[in-house]
Chains A and B, each alone.
Chain A
Amino acid sequence: MAKILIVDDEEHIRFLYSEELADEGYEVATADSGFQLLERIEKEKPDLVVLDIKMVDYNGLDLLQDIRNKYYDLPVILCTAYDTFKEDMKSIAADFYVIKSFDLTELKNKIKMALETKLPGE
């Protein structure tokens, strides 16, 4: 089963996402900040990253750039409480974005789509 890395500085979100995604059969790892995120990705080798945009010490959009520069095709789903982030063009390097909610249907659908995405020759 696919491995998902959840990067969020809110503990209850990490807990909720971990529980629900584990119930879906995913292997889940978590990170509570963007600190050394690339090293963490290198170590965990996730199939997909769920990334909070607004963390206390890190801007998720900058982290997205770092991830995309090193891992061209690693799926990243942005999570946010506000959709104003779309005004920043950096956001289009994400596979999808979801508005944070306690109903994770949308997030689960996007995870499924991102993991299903297939290009010949990869």
Chain B
Amino acid sequence: MPEVHLEENPQNITSAQMVVAIPSYREAELIAYPTTQAAQGLKRYFGDKQGVIINCDNNSDDGTKEAFFAAETEDVPQIYISTPPGVRGKGNNFQNLFRKVVELGAEAVVVVDADLKSITPQWIKHLGEPLFNDFGYVAPLYVRHKYDGTITNSIAYPLTRALYGRRVRQPIGGDFGFSGELARIYLASPTWTEAVSQFGIDIWMTTLAMNNNIPICQAFMGRPKIHKPKDPGSELGPMFSQVVGTIFDLMVQSAGYWMRVKWSKPTSIYGFGLGEVEMPPPVKVSQDKLAENFRMGMGTYREAWRTILTEPIFRKVEEVANLPAEQFDFPTQTWAKLLFDYAGAYNRKVMDPQQLLDSLIPLYFGKTLSYVRKTERMSVQQAEDFIENECMVFEETKPYLVDHWVA
């Protein structure tokens, strides 16, 4: 694991009760805003605590560090830490953060994304306050556009909920809080992988909180998360395989836990009284691109799908692929069983893990296309109900996973 390459601690801070951390890579243009909001949050709501803001960076060459230190922080101290040159990855930044949190002896840590445009000082309050009230992990709860966060909606949320039994709506939300005690658990965990050192970090942290029975709450942010939303049909990158690969790795490592989970439970909710809920900005999705990617996958990965999927699910996927565009539908139960087949195949190492994850991407595009078509005329709330119903299908279908896990 990479060590801290560089630390700048101009106020020579050696202890803190509360940390606000901002992980970054090349965010010189945007990092000042969340830094200033974090400082205001610390001053306004945690004035009686020793607070510090830490920028955990990947040695950005665009002036991120300078922009971070130049931000107005009302005398709240700042620390900059970085991975060595050439070492990238959000998870590597967190590894540095965990070490620093333990070194400072902090009780509570709030993390916010460096590209956040909608953060307010209340976000710091809502993500931080439960940590001083017996909770060990705080996940964000914000209204997102129905097409924003499709990996969350189709995979991360329904899978983690069905597997670990806690309903955390944004398990890879990027903004969250955790206790100093949990930082020590993270640091000592033997489950660290290369994918976790990249974008697998968020789901890894949420899952470890769940299967270590850490009290979890979800904090309502009031405002939608406004950052750089992506069209799921055109911008996916390696994030998909890092997140899904981490989910599968954790399933392998914690099978003894999730096999004993039946149904799911809600969490406490924190942070109301923020007035009217703001609606998120629209996210554009190219249905044509999703359809094209799905159908191309049928040509490229047909043999891989035949190896990974059970016969009935493979046949069902073929049937879905042959549907005319106006009738296109990826049934939820087929999707749940398909993901369970993939997890089982990953566990049984039926092929190279990266090849397996790559072959899932076109299927995910097909599922996303189906979701977009079904929710096209739905309000944000109706789409939420739709996702909740899909989660119930995952929970009901879980015995299929248990049956197919090893054989």
A residues with CB within 8 A of B: 65, 68-69, 72-73, 75, 86-87, 89-90, 92-95, 113-114, 116-122
> Quick check: B272 and A90 within 8 Å, CB to CB?
yes
> Quick check: B165 and A117 within 8 Å, CB to CB?
yes
Chain B residues positioned under 8 Å from A68 (CB to CB): 266, 268-269
Known contacts: A86-B381, A87-B381. The answer to whether A116 contacts B263 by CB under 8 A is: yes
Residue of A nearest to B396 (CB): A113
Known contacts: A113-B263, A117-B263. The answer to whether A72 contacts B381 by CB under 8 A is: no
Q: List 17 A-B contacts (CB under 8 A).
A: A68-B266, A68-B269, A72-B268, A73-B265, A89-B269, A89-B277, A90-B269, A92-B269, A93-B267, A93-B269, A117-B263, A117-B264, A118-B165, A118-B261, A118-B262, A120-B257, A120-B261
> Quick check: B268 and A69 within 8 Å, CB to CB?
yes
Minimum distance in angstroms from B327 CB to a CB of chain A: 29
> Quick check: B165 and A92 within 8 Å, CB to CB?
no
- Docked pose: A94 CA to B388 CA in angstroms: 13
Known: A92-B218, A93-B267. 12 other contacts (CB 8 A): A68-B266, A75-B265, A86-B381, A86-B384, A86-B385, A92-B266, A116-B263, A117-B264, A118-B260, A119-B164, A119-B213, A120-B261
Assign chain B's interface to a size class. 20 to 34
> Quick check: A89 and B262 within 8 Å, CB to CB?
no
B residues with CB within 8 A of A: 141, 164-167, 169, 213, 215, 218, 220, 257, 260-269, 272, 277, 381, 384-385
> Quick check: A119 and B265 within 8 Å, CB to CB?
yes
Chain B residues positioned under 8 Å from A65 (CB to CB): 269, 272
Residue of A nearest to B142 (CB): A89
Chain B residues positioned under 8 Å from A86 (CB to CB): 381, 384-385
- Docked pose: A95 CA to B391 CA in angstroms: 13
| Top 7 A-B residue pairs of the complex, sorted by shortest distance between their CB atoms | A117-B263, A118-B262, A119-B165, A121-B213, A120-B260, A93-B269, A68-B268
- Docked pose: A73 CA to B265 CA in angstroms: 7
Chain B residues positioned under 8 Å from A118 (CB to CB): 165, 260-263
Residue of B nearest to A83 (CB): B385
Chain A residues positioned under 8 Å from B268 (CB to CB): 68-69, 72, 93
Chain B residues positioned under 8 Å from A119 (CB to CB): 164-166, 213, 261, 265
Residue of A nearest to B133 (CB): A69
- Docked pose: A122 CA to B210 CA in angstroms: 12
> Quick check: B272 and A94 within 8 Å, CB to CB?
no
Minimum distance in angstroms from B390 CB to a CB of chain A: 15
